[in-house]
Structure 1
């Protein structure tokens, strides 16, 4: 591999290639953004092009990092005012008046039908969409929306750290075609005191293709929290004022999810569920593997035998505007390891179905030694023609100097298996926990799915 010695020239070339369109001019002050002024069932957004090749380049020292997908690059360019108008540390931290969801609504347009270079960036070896990059873009867009909502009226922001706290389930409801255009659009839907929920939807353009409908193919809910940049404590943010009936429904749904999250945390504080019968049932087959391996079911495999892992040093090119590692980058790396784990387990290329709940427990900093460990938690074989593979990825921040290792993230993914491979005789094995800890983890995920 040749050394990356001419970063500015390479980035400039990369910068000129891609074209995106967004629903608002993020480079203008917030009071110039397009808004929805009428109460309608279907919200519309006016599209103003963001041309990643026409704007003036900022000095490299002012950019948060050079690790960007085409979409994240356009988003950084769009909110470049944060570098031109840095927040004042002693500024007023009081939140302003409530804002409508339309003030933060933003979209990215992917012109796959005619931009072959862009399409190549998102194509996987099987000529399908590379889901890891889309997950990365989702996080970047959610961060931009959070930034817009917290903007002051002059386009600057208070000195806040906006951090991804969690991601609720992302379900792929239909295939995303690599040769058709699509748009990701999102807005703030709910606000707590210092937290916000942002909903994103991916819709693919049909353009006469009978295999594509206009309904969303992927929906995700991101939760961000605001922290004071100096103290790290939670700070109040702008509240939200839903205008349309749909916005009020989305707010109520997000409020219910927030209550459910609090309820789950309370249950975790009160200890284990005590479901001994289910636990013993899960462990029964694992004990046979441990005590009588010659008699174990050959259609089953121990969970520990499905594991993969990788390690890497977090580089400065992967940082966000706060100097920490970009959450979308972590999600992409976790997805790619999960995909590899499902591929090695099934013996056929899997296809993505959903991301379950993702938790961000601790920030990941530049220079951290990060270890990603994955395993197949369990399989769903009720329908043998369409088996499901559930994969867990746990990220550990490891500090050799301090001899410490802490969990920073947990990711859960569900994959399907190629139906043609199943028809040709491929069988998916049952995954068996060998320890009580593994069994409890499986029960927890099954209950979460329910």
Structure 2
């Protein structure tokens, strides 16, 4: 049993906790139950982690449950026959958060082949690979939440699960070791009519205790079997006061996302403080008594349009999800890795990832696409830099491009970094948006 779990007296736990404490309480209690169950059925095991499925096993279980088979075909097997099993909302029983709670292991300590995929040259685990697994695991928690009572035995689950957005991924000081097991845990924390919020943790044993690497919030959408329309999901019935607080927090986050979206700098003009900042930027970069269009770059500064790095990635069937489109986790990994490279090249020192916010998935990406990833440094302050990475799908025959994703990262550097400045009004809007993201990440 993990250190500390067996000594907790849950009967004296306070009834009402803060949202973060509630998640820790729920996770600790569920892990304790899983551990006790494991030891009662297999006392010969030397490690409680043996009870957990690996992330590869979870992927296999999901494919089987959704009626998907390994192997790629240009014409995927039709799932239209499953539409008749699509339940109505009133037929779906309520679920608790404990129903969707699960844990899994990335077995880096025993699988040398897996290590090669996850490890970097310094011996740490690649964060992009871990984000990929977190996205898959969030879908698994949604799968556990869904329960269709009248579904005949042997009939696949008549749903598709897609990632809508990922929000507020904060990283601790724990640098994940590339040769030690990593544990994922999570559960559905809020539901709408067809959407589910999932909280996912990553942990690794440090000094004989599990320490948190990161935590992320995923907003997932439930779609019908053919991914052509929204599908209803089971409501949540909180099992206790702790779950009530977590559920209320999810509802508050939905409202906050709606407010921030309505106030986006790309929809409404900057506020008074930001308007003043724009004017100050103009004065700093314009020669005295200059009436033309000439701009002047101050010392120790760089124009934003000179700060970017770009890559074009062909996608392949190995990157597909159950909907036969590019897996969102692959896009997350690719975007993070080019963003990290951009930060490294910009500050000329190894950067530290501090925060990820507002990863949006606007359009599906087909598996025969060319994906253009462009990472820009959009804001800097002291030893921090804010990066926005844009993913576009390129049509090789027409040359057209469609923006499918936007990613926002906060990195820190060992020393103060060169200040980035916008030159055009378009760049200035990116600068203001980056400043907002940075302030939110530090808040």
Q: Is the structural similarity TM-score above 0.5? A: yes
Find the residue that maps to 2:85 and give its secondary structure: coil
- CA distance in 2 between partners of 1:146 and 1:40 (Å): 17
- Aligned residue in 1 for 2:186: 186
- Aligned residue in 2 for 1:405: 401
Q: Does 1:94 align with 2:94?
A: no
Q: Does 1:240 align with 2:236?
A: yes
- CA distance in 2 between partners of 1:143 and 1:377 (Å): 32
Q: Over aligned residues, Cα RMSD in angstroms?
A: 2.8
Find the residue that maps to 1:390 and give its secondary structure: strand
8 Å Cα contact 1:93-1:158 kept in structure 2: no
- Aligned residue in 2 for 1:173: 172
Q: Deviations over 1:30-67 (max 9, x none)?
A: xxxxxxxxx97942231699xxxxxxxxxxxxxxxxxx
Summarize the Cα distance change of 1:229–1:92 in structure 2 as closer, same or farther, 3 Å threshold: closer
Q: Does 1:291 align with 2:277?
A: no
- CA distance in 1 between partners of 2:418 and 2:136 (Å): 37
8 Å Cα contact 2:67-2:156 kept in structure 1: no
Aligned residues: 374
- CA distance in 2 between partners of 1:155 and 1:198 (Å): 27
8 Å Cα contact 1:315-1:367 kept in structure 2: yes
Q: Within 5 A, what are the aligned runs for 1:265-304?
A: 265-268=261-264, 271-275=268-272, 276-287=275-286, 291=294, 293=296, 296-304=297-305
- Aligned residue in 2 for 1:324: 325
8 Å Cα contact 2:317-2:367 kept in structure 1: yes
Find the residue that maps to 1:442 and give its secondary structure: helix
- CA distance in 2 between partners of 1:444 and 1:40 (Å): 35
8 Å Cα contact 1:150-1:157 kept in structure 2: no
Q: Does 1:432 align with 2:431?
A: no
8 Å Cα contact 1:286-1:302 kept in structure 2: no
Q: How far off its partner does 1:254 sit?
A: 1.2
Summarize the Cα distance change of 1:147–1:300 in structure 2 as closer, same or farther, 3 Å threshold: same
- Aligned residue in 2 for 1:393: 389
Structure 1 stretches of 4+ moved >6 Å: 84-87
Q: How far off its partner does 1:200 sit?
A: 0.5
- CA distance in 1 between partners of 2:142 and 2:26 (Å): 24
1:73 to 56, 66, 69: 56
- CA distance in 1 between partners of 2:339 and 2:168 (Å): 16
- CA distance in 2 between partners of 1:354 and 1:255 (Å): 22
8 Å Cα contact 1:283-1:436 kept in structure 2: no
Q: How far off its partner does 1:258 sit?
A: 0.2
Q: How far off its partner does 1:174 sit?
A: 2.1
Summarize the Cα distance change of 1:147–1:158 in structure 2 as closer, same or farther, 3 Å threshold: same
Find the residue that maps to 2:229 and give its secondary structure: coil
8 Å Cα contact 1:164-1:223 kept in structure 2: yes
Q: How far off its partner does 1:89 sit?
A: 2.4
8 Å Cα contact 1:176-1:204 kept in structure 2: no
Summarize the Cα distance change of 1:283–1:217 in structure 2 as closer, same or farther, 3 Å threshold: farther
1:44 to 30, 33, 43: 30
Q: How far off its partner does 1:314 sit?
A: 1.8
1:106 to 98, 102, 108: 102
Q: How far off its partner does 1:231 sit?
A: 7.1
- CA distance in 2 between partners of 1:91 and 1:140 (Å): 24
- CA distance in 1 between partners of 2:280 and 2:257 (Å): 28
Structure 2: runs of 5 or more not aligned: 1-24, 39-52, 70-78
Summarize the Cα distance change of 1:101–1:225 in structure 2 as closer, same or farther, 3 Å threshold: same
- CA distance in 1 between partners of 2:155 and 2:242 (Å): 29
- CA distance in 1 between partners of 2:27 and 2:421 (Å): 48
8 Å Cα contact 1:279-1:440 kept in structure 2: no
Find the residue that maps to 1:366 and give its secondary structure: coil
Summarize the Cα distance change of 1:349–1:244 in structure 2 as closer, same or farther, 3 Å threshold: same
- CA distance in 2 between partners of 1:283 and 1:128 (Å): 43
- CA distance in 2 between partners of 1:430 and 1:236 (Å): 48
Q: Deviations over 1:121-157 (max 9, x none)?
A: 3221222221110111110101111222224355855
Q: How far off its partner does 1:402 sit?
A: 4.5
Q: Deviations over 1:60-88 (max 9, x none)?
A: xxxxxxxxxx9653322232232279772
Q: How far off its partner does 1:177 sit?
A: 3.5
Q: How far off its partner does 1:272 sit?
A: 2.0
Find the residue that maps to 2:345 and give its secondary structure: helix
- CA distance in 1 between partners of 2:176 and 2:267 (Å): 46
Q: How far off its partner does 1:260 sit?
A: 0.8
- CA distance in 1 between partners of 2:176 and 2:348 (Å): 24
